[in-house]
Protein backbone atom coordinates (compact mmCIF):
# COMPACT_ATOMS: atom_id res chain seq x y z
CA UNK A 1 0.00 0.00 0.00
CA UNK A 2 1.18 3.50 -0.85
CA UNK A 3 0.62 5.91 2.03
CA UNK A 4 -0.01 9.63 1.56
CA UNK A 5 2.72 11.28 3.64
CA UNK A 6 2.94 15.06 3.91
CA UNK A 7 5.90 17.34 4.61
CA UNK A 8 4.28 20.55 5.81
CA UNK A 9 6.32 23.75 6.17
CA UNK A 10 9.51 25.22 4.77
CA UNK A 11 11.09 24.47 1.40
CA UNK A 12 14.30 26.26 0.48
CA UNK A 13 17.80 26.07 -0.86
CA UNK A 14 20.57 25.04 1.52
CA UNK A 15 23.55 27.08 0.37
CA UNK A 16 26.31 24.58 1.14
CA UNK A 17 30.05 25.11 0.62
CA UNK A 18 29.79 22.62 -2.27
CA UNK A 19 26.82 24.42 -3.87
CA UNK A 20 23.09 24.73 -3.31
CA UNK A 21 20.95 21.72 -2.38
CA UNK A 22 17.19 21.42 -1.97
CA UNK A 23 16.35 21.64 1.72
CA UNK A 24 13.88 22.37 4.46
CA UNK A 25 13.06 19.57 6.89
CA UNK A 26 9.47 18.95 5.67
CA UNK A 27 10.60 18.87 2.02
CA UNK A 28 13.48 16.52 2.87
CA UNK A 29 11.06 14.31 4.79
CA UNK A 30 8.61 14.16 1.87
CA UNK A 31 11.42 13.20 -0.52
CA UNK A 32 12.49 10.29 1.67
CA UNK A 33 8.90 9.14 2.22
CA UNK A 34 8.49 9.16 -1.54
CA UNK A 35 11.76 7.31 -2.12
CA UNK A 36 10.60 4.63 0.34
CA UNK A 37 7.69 3.82 -1.98
CA UNK A 38 4.92 6.14 -0.81
CA UNK A 39 3.25 9.30 -2.05
CA UNK A 40 5.38 11.99 -0.47
CA UNK A 41 3.80 15.43 -0.78
CA UNK A 42 5.35 18.84 -0.04
CA UNK A 43 3.06 21.62 1.19
CA UNK A 44 4.92 24.93 1.08
CA UNK A 45 5.55 28.09 -0.94
CA UNK A 46 8.30 29.49 -3.17
CA UNK A 47 8.88 32.90 -4.70
CA UNK A 48 8.22 33.91 -8.30
CA UNK A 49 11.95 34.00 -8.98
CA UNK A 50 14.78 31.94 -10.44
CA UNK A 51 15.40 30.03 -7.19
CA UNK A 52 11.70 29.21 -6.91
CA UNK A 53 11.57 27.93 -10.49
CA UNK A 54 14.63 25.79 -9.79
CA UNK A 55 12.92 24.26 -6.74
CA UNK A 56 9.89 23.33 -8.84
CA UNK A 57 12.17 21.70 -11.41
CA UNK A 58 14.01 19.84 -8.65
CA UNK A 59 10.73 18.54 -7.18
CA UNK A 60 9.79 17.23 -10.61
CA UNK A 61 13.19 15.52 -10.91
CA UNK A 62 12.59 13.89 -7.51
CA UNK A 63 9.14 12.70 -8.67
CA UNK A 64 7.38 14.89 -6.10
CA UNK A 65 4.14 16.67 -6.96
CA UNK A 66 4.30 20.46 -7.15
CA UNK A 67 0.56 20.91 -6.77
CA UNK A 68 0.71 22.12 -3.18
CA UNK A 69 3.76 24.37 -3.52
CA UNK A 70 2.25 27.81 -4.04
CA UNK A 71 4.10 30.54 -5.94
CA UNK A 72 4.22 33.77 -3.93
CA UNK A 73 4.50 36.79 -6.22
CA UNK A 74 5.82 39.22 -3.60
CA UNK A 75 8.18 37.20 -1.37
CA UNK A 76 11.49 35.56 -2.33
CA UNK A 77 12.23 31.86 -2.24
CA UNK A 78 13.73 30.75 1.07
CA UNK A 79 17.46 30.21 1.46
CA UNK A 80 19.67 29.05 4.29
CA UNK A 81 23.39 29.69 4.49
CA UNK A 82 25.01 26.46 5.71
CA UNK A 83 28.54 26.05 7.04
CA UNK A 84 30.04 22.70 8.06
CA UNK A 85 32.53 22.04 10.83
CA UNK A 86 35.43 19.59 10.46
CA UNK A 87 33.10 16.69 11.36
CA UNK A 88 30.52 17.64 8.75
CA UNK A 89 28.02 19.05 11.28
CA UNK A 90 26.04 22.00 9.90
CA UNK A 91 25.39 25.50 11.26
CA UNK A 92 22.54 27.49 9.71
CA UNK A 93 21.69 31.12 8.99
CA UNK A 94 18.01 31.11 8.06
CA UNK A 95 16.78 34.14 6.13
CA UNK A 96 13.43 35.70 7.04
CA UNK A 97 10.37 37.16 5.26
CA UNK A 98 10.50 34.51 2.57
CA UNK A 99 7.74 32.68 0.69
CA UNK A 100 7.29 29.81 3.15
CA UNK A 101 6.59 32.32 5.91
CA UNK A 102 3.34 33.02 4.04
CA UNK A 103 1.74 29.60 3.43
CA UNK A 104 -1.94 30.42 3.05
CA UNK A 105 -5.00 28.23 3.62
CA UNK A 106 -6.58 26.79 0.47
CA UNK A 107 -9.60 24.52 -0.10
CA UNK A 108 -7.29 21.95 -1.71
CA UNK A 109 -5.34 21.64 1.54
CA UNK A 110 -8.45 20.61 3.45
CA UNK A 111 -9.10 17.86 0.90
CA UNK A 112 -5.47 16.73 1.11
CA UNK A 113 -5.60 16.64 4.92
CA UNK A 114 -8.66 14.37 4.83
CA UNK A 115 -6.73 11.68 2.91
CA UNK A 116 -3.46 12.01 4.79
CA UNK A 117 -1.95 8.97 6.53
CA UNK A 118 0.94 10.89 8.09
CA UNK A 119 2.12 14.49 8.23
CA UNK A 120 5.42 15.86 9.53
CA UNK A 121 5.74 19.46 10.69
CA UNK A 122 8.21 21.45 12.73
CA UNK A 123 8.61 24.62 14.75
CA UNK A 124 10.54 26.66 12.17
CA UNK A 125 7.72 27.25 9.66
CA UNK A 126 5.52 28.37 12.55
CA UNK A 127 7.68 31.43 13.20
CA UNK A 128 5.12 33.45 11.20
CA UNK A 129 1.50 33.63 12.30
CA UNK A 130 0.07 33.02 8.82
CA UNK A 131 1.99 29.79 8.21
CA UNK A 132 1.38 28.68 11.81
CA UNK A 133 -2.37 29.02 11.39
CA UNK A 134 -2.29 27.10 8.10
CA UNK A 135 -0.16 24.31 9.59
CA UNK A 136 -2.29 23.92 12.70
CA UNK A 137 -5.53 23.98 10.70
CA UNK A 138 -4.18 21.26 8.41
CA UNK A 139 -3.29 19.10 11.43
CA UNK A 140 -6.79 19.49 12.87
CA UNK A 141 -8.29 18.45 9.52
CA UNK A 142 -6.41 15.13 9.33
CA UNK A 143 -8.15 11.86 10.29
CA UNK A 144 -7.90 11.02 13.99
CA UNK A 145 -5.85 7.90 13.21
CA UNK A 146 -3.29 9.77 11.07
CA UNK A 147 0.26 10.15 12.34
CA UNK A 148 1.02 13.78 13.19
CA UNK A 149 4.77 13.94 13.67
CA UNK A 150 6.25 16.99 15.36
CA UNK A 151 9.91 17.07 14.31
CA UNK A 152 10.86 20.05 16.38
CA UNK A 153 14.06 21.29 14.65
CA UNK A 154 15.00 24.19 16.94
CA UNK A 155 16.75 26.79 14.80
CA UNK A 156 18.21 30.14 15.91
CA UNK A 157 15.53 31.94 17.95
CA UNK A 158 12.59 30.73 15.88
CA UNK A 159 10.70 28.88 18.60
CA UNK A 160 8.81 29.55 21.82
CA UNK A 161 7.11 27.69 24.65
CA UNK A 162 3.73 28.52 23.09
CA UNK A 163 4.65 27.04 19.69
CA UNK A 164 6.16 23.91 21.24
CA UNK A 165 3.24 23.32 23.62
CA UNK A 166 0.53 23.85 20.97
CA UNK A 167 2.41 21.65 18.50
CA UNK A 168 2.76 18.82 20.99
CA UNK A 169 -0.95 19.03 21.75
CA UNK A 170 -1.70 18.51 18.05
CA UNK A 171 0.91 15.77 17.55
CA UNK A 172 0.87 12.09 18.41
CA UNK A 173 4.54 11.44 17.51
CA UNK A 174 7.46 13.59 18.66
CA UNK A 175 11.01 13.59 17.32
CA UNK A 176 13.74 15.52 19.11
CA UNK A 177 17.53 15.31 19.39
CA UNK A 178 19.67 15.10 22.50
CA UNK A 179 20.73 18.76 22.26
CA UNK A 180 17.14 19.96 22.00
CA UNK A 181 15.72 17.78 24.79
CA UNK A 182 17.07 19.80 27.77
CA UNK A 183 15.99 23.06 26.08
CA UNK A 184 12.44 21.79 25.64
CA UNK A 185 12.33 20.29 29.13
CA UNK A 186 13.39 23.65 30.57
CA UNK A 187 10.82 25.60 28.51
CA UNK A 188 8.07 23.22 29.64
CA UNK A 189 9.32 23.48 33.23
CA UNK A 190 10.05 19.80 33.71
CA UNK A 191 12.14 18.99 36.76
CA UNK A 192 15.63 17.74 35.89
CA UNK A 193 15.25 14.09 34.91
CA UNK A 194 17.12 11.40 33.03
CA UNK A 195 16.49 11.14 29.29
CA UNK A 196 14.20 8.18 29.77
CA UNK A 197 12.21 9.81 32.54
CA UNK A 198 11.79 12.97 30.44
CA UNK A 199 10.52 10.97 27.46
CA UNK A 200 8.01 9.21 29.70
CA UNK A 201 6.78 12.54 31.10
CA UNK A 202 6.39 13.99 27.60
CA UNK A 203 4.47 10.93 26.43
CA UNK A 204 2.10 11.10 29.39
CA UNK A 205 1.53 14.87 29.32
CA UNK A 206 0.80 15.00 25.59
CA UNK A 207 -0.63 11.51 25.03
CA UNK A 208 2.05 10.65 22.45
CA UNK A 209 2.14 7.31 20.66
CA UNK A 210 5.90 7.43 20.17
CA UNK A 211 8.87 9.66 20.95
CA UNK A 212 12.17 9.43 19.06
CA UNK A 213 15.31 10.85 20.64
CA UNK A 214 18.16 11.01 18.14
CA UNK A 215 21.78 11.22 19.27
CA UNK A 216 23.86 11.81 16.14
CA UNK A 217 26.53 9.15 15.68
CA UNK A 218 25.48 7.56 18.99
CA UNK A 219 22.19 6.33 17.50
CA UNK A 220 18.74 6.81 18.97
CA UNK A 221 16.29 5.99 21.73
CA UNK A 222 12.62 5.30 20.97
CA UNK A 223 9.82 5.20 23.53
CA UNK A 224 6.34 3.90 22.81
CA UNK A 225 3.58 2.55 25.03
CA UNK A 226 5.84 1.86 27.98
CA UNK A 227 8.67 0.28 25.99
CA UNK A 228 12.11 1.58 25.00
CA UNK A 229 14.28 0.66 22.04
CA UNK A 230 17.95 1.64 21.97
CA UNK A 231 20.10 1.68 18.83
CA UNK A 232 23.82 2.51 18.68
CA UNK A 233 23.66 3.75 15.11
CA UNK A 234 25.59 2.55 12.07
CA UNK A 235 29.19 3.60 11.42
CA UNK A 236 29.59 5.54 8.19
CA UNK A 237 32.02 7.80 6.38
CA UNK A 238 30.38 11.18 7.01
CA UNK A 239 30.29 13.63 4.11
CA UNK A 240 27.71 15.87 5.79
CA UNK A 241 24.80 15.33 8.17
CA UNK A 242 22.33 17.68 6.42
CA UNK A 243 18.98 15.92 6.11
CA UNK A 244 19.98 12.80 8.05
CA UNK A 245 17.42 13.50 10.76
CA UNK A 246 14.70 14.01 8.16
CA UNK A 247 15.46 10.66 6.55
CA UNK A 248 15.33 9.07 10.02
CA UNK A 249 11.88 10.58 10.57
CA UNK A 250 10.64 9.35 7.19
CA UNK A 251 11.80 5.77 7.83
CA UNK A 252 10.30 5.87 11.33
CA UNK A 253 6.98 7.11 9.92
CA UNK A 254 6.80 4.39 7.28
CA UNK A 255 7.64 1.76 9.89
CA UNK A 256 4.85 2.99 12.17
CA UNK A 257 2.34 2.99 9.32
CA UNK A 258 3.33 -0.59 8.51
CA UNK A 259 2.98 -1.47 12.25
CA UNK A 260 6.54 -2.77 12.48
CA UNK A 261 7.94 -3.60 15.89
CA UNK A 262 9.80 -0.84 17.72
CA UNK A 263 13.26 -2.39 17.30
CA UNK A 264 12.80 -2.82 13.55
CA UNK A 265 11.61 0.77 13.19
CA UNK A 266 14.68 1.99 15.06
CA UNK A 267 17.06 -0.14 12.98
CA UNK A 268 15.63 0.95 9.62
CA UNK A 269 15.65 4.61 10.62
CA UNK A 270 19.30 4.50 11.71
CA UNK A 271 20.33 2.60 8.60
CA UNK A 272 18.81 5.22 6.28
CA UNK A 273 20.21 8.13 8.30
CA UNK A 274 23.71 6.63 8.10
CA UNK A 275 23.40 6.36 4.31
CA UNK A 276 22.32 10.02 4.01
CA UNK A 277 25.31 11.07 6.13
CA UNK A 278 27.58 9.39 3.56
CA UNK A 279 26.15 11.53 0.74
CA UNK A 280 26.22 15.23 -0.14
CA UNK A 281 23.03 17.16 0.63
CA UNK A 282 19.71 16.22 2.16
CA UNK A 283 18.00 14.48 -0.78
CA UNK A 284 20.33 11.89 -2.33
CA UNK A 285 18.81 9.37 -4.70
CA UNK A 286 18.62 5.72 -3.70
Higher pLDDT, 286 or 69: 69
Taking only the tens place, the pLDDT of each residue in 87-108 is: 777 777 899 999 999 999 999 9
- Return the DSSP state at 160: -
| Residues of the chain above pLDDT 70, percent | 100
Read off the pLDDT band of 23 (50, 70, 90): confident
Q: Work out the angle at residue 245's Cα, subtended by the Cα atoms of residues 54 and 81, and round it to the nearest 5 degrees.
A: 45
Taking only the tens place, the pLDDT of each residue in 39-77 is: 999 999 999 999 999 999 999 999 999 999 999 999 999
Q: What's the pLDDT score for residue 1? A: 85
3-state secondary structure of 218: helix
Strand partners, 140: none
User: Residue 186 phi/psi, 5° resolution?
Assistant: -70, -45
Contact 84, 240 (CB under 8 A): yes
Please give the Cα distance from 41 to 117 (Å, whole number). 11
3-state secondary structure of 198: helix
Contact 283, 62 (CB under 8 A): yes
DSSP string, 48-101: SSHHHHHHHHHHHHTT-B-TTEEEESSSPPEEEEEEE-TTS-EEEEE--S-GGG
Third-level CATH fold of 4-277: 3.40.1190
Q: What's the pLDDT score for residue 285? A: 79
Domain boundaries, the chain: 4-277
Q: What's the pLDDT score for residue 42? A: 98
Please give the Cα distance from 24 to 32 (Å, whole number). 12
3-state secondary structure of 268: helix
User: Residue 215 phi/psi, 5° resolution?
Assistant: -135, 35
Contact 10, 78 (CB under 8 A): yes
Taking only the tens place, the pLDDT of each residue in 201-250 is: 999 999 999 999 999 989 999 999 999 999 999 999 888 887 899 999 99
Taking only the tens place, the pLDDT of each residue in 116-167 is: 999 999 999 999 999 999 999 999 999 999 999 999 988 878 899 999 999 9
Strand partners, 40: 5
Amino acid sequence: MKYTIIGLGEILWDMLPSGKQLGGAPANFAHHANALGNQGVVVSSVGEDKLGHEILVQLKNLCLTRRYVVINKTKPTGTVSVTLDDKGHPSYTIHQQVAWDFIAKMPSLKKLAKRTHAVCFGSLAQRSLLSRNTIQTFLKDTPSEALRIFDINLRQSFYSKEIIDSSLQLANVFKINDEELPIVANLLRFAVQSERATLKLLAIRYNLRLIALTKGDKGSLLYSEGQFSTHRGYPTQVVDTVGAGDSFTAALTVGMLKTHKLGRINDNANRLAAFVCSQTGATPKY
